[in-house]
Amino acid sequence: MWLGTVAAAVALAAWAGSRVGTDNPVSRTARWDPLLVTVMATALLAVPGLAIAWGVLEGEARGFSPAGVVGAGTLAGLLALPLAFVAAVAVEVLWPH
């Protein structure tokens, strides 16, 4: 599951990074920007990763059961996904073209 999540984040960032400099998001004439792909993939993975870590630590601090700690981390990670997507899109929009 984690490998699939990482693969999906990198694929989404790679697709967006390959569309730099075009008005058409499916244009075949776009140039490839590997640094943009790296930054976008980092945003897509780091934001939920930090949220998961925070959820686990918060669950442990509150004395949750092991299942509750896993649930808190999972919930925090899921809730952070929209924020990660917004961060990645912001990177693409603000990236110098």
- Residue pLDDT, tens place only, 16-29: 766 655 554 544 44
**Whole-number Cα distances in Å, 71 to 5, 12, 62, 81, 84:** 18, 26, 13, 16, 20
Residue 46 confidence (pLDDT)? 93
Residue 92 confidence (pLDDT)? 77
Higher confidence at residue 65 or residue 39?
A: 65
Percent over 70 (pLDDT), the chain: 79
How would residue 97 be classed by pLDDT, with cut points 50, 70 and 90? Answer: low
- Residue pLDDT, tens place only, 42-87: 888 899 999 999 999 999 999 999 999 999 999 999 999 889 988 8
Round to whole Å and give the CA distance between 17 and 79.
Answer: 25
Residue 27 confidence (pLDDT)? 45
Element (H, E) at 26: none
